[in-house]
Amino acid sequence: MKIINLAGKERFETKDVDFKVNGTPLIKVTHVGVCGSDMAIWKDGDNWKDIVLGHEFTGVVEQPDKDGKFNVGDRVVVYTQNIHNEFCGRCEKCLEGKFDECTNRKVAICKGAEKEHPGAFAEYTTWFNNSIFKLPDSVSNEEAALIEPAAVGLHAVTLTDIRPNDKVLVIGGGIIGLMVSEWAKSFGAAMVAISEISAEKRKAIEGFGIADVVLRADDENLNELYRDVSNGGFDVVFDCAGVASAINSAIKYAFKPETRDRKCFTGVALPHNDLTLDYYNIVLKEIEFKGGKGHLPSEFEFIISALAAKKVSFKKYITETMKFSEVQEGFEKLKAKGGSNGKAMIIME
């Protein structure tokens, strides 16, 4: 089969490799989402040579597992970790049928971010049985490829306990910020505002219909706008950008004045650099501050059910597509334009 692996800084190469699987299902990849982390690793490719990226993907089972959990033709999406410490199906011991002696159970980062667990920038892949979820007929592979970033947003919103009539500010209009906004609305927020620095992304966000207000993040009057658009201050702020100045500006100006009304700040993005928080205003305003990391398998299942019931829709976020044979050119185009306006998707040929 063909894989696309990192050959150096901002350079992919396509290779033909033998791929053997025993005990876990063989999955023919159909759609792969391009994550911001994929772009960052590609840019820093000299330190990630021979990595096969891709952790947001869907596919079709082409060869069943040994336990009969999956059948040929099942459409599936995978969770990025080995949540049950299962055997991998790919190591030397697994290929010999000695599954209890599997040497490849531990997932240090996630699928597609380490040599031991190559990702879905490939014609075929596999994963640990209980971290694979079947898709119902009503959920397309294309839309299901966005479940992983959707789960990051869901996890953050669930941790934050959005309440009816909450006014919510989301800092950063990338795919995670969009998903946080989607779930905040779904969970009853009365008003959602997104701040974003890119004019092109702001225009796209307005078209998605998930934000009541889209703010220019570098507006010189942004602090005043926070109060104006929220009619006095937000109840909840999500940081999906990781920029110190934006975080501290929101802490100081976006929340309600110094009252004992509920105020919650949830950090979803990792900071770009070490940062100093405005601890003074966190204390003064009694802001509940927490972090939201990743997601849970149960959140994947929740999202699959929500998609099947048409309670949410993600297809609108797919703003760029590229063929498997065009991944190098596709990444170069994304870099030139400063990233995707929503989600870039690789469509297998």
pLDDT band per the 50, 70, 90 thresholds, residue 159 = very high
Q: Is the pLDDT of residue 261 over 80?
A: yes
Residues 74 and 140 in one domain: yes
pLDDT of residue 287: 95
131 in a structural domain: yes
pLDDT tens digits along 93-141: 999 999 999 999 999 999 999 999 999 999 999 999 999 999 999 999 9
Q: Is the pLDDT of residue 272 over 90?
A: no
The residue-averaged pLDDT of 339-348 equals: 96
* Structural domain range at position 88: 2-146+314-347
Quickly list DSSP for 166-208: -EEEEE--SHHHHHHHHHHHHTT-SEEEEEES-HHHHHHHHHH
Long-range pairs of 224-232 with CB within 8 A, sequence gap ≥ 24 = 226/169, 226/250, 226/253, 226/254, 227/253, 229/193, 230/167, 230/169, 230/191, 230/193, 230/254, 231/167, 232/256, 232/257
Structure tokens that stand for 340 in this block = 């995707």
Residues 134 and 201 in one domain: no
306 in a structural domain: no
* Percentage of the chain modeled with pLDDT above 70: 100
Supply the pTM of this predicted model: 0.95
Residue of 64, 65, 40, 66 whose CA lies nearest to 51:
40
Residues 84 and 32 in one domain: yes
pLDDT band per the 50, 70, 90 thresholds, residue 331 = very high
Q: Is the pLDDT of residue 259 over 80?
A: no
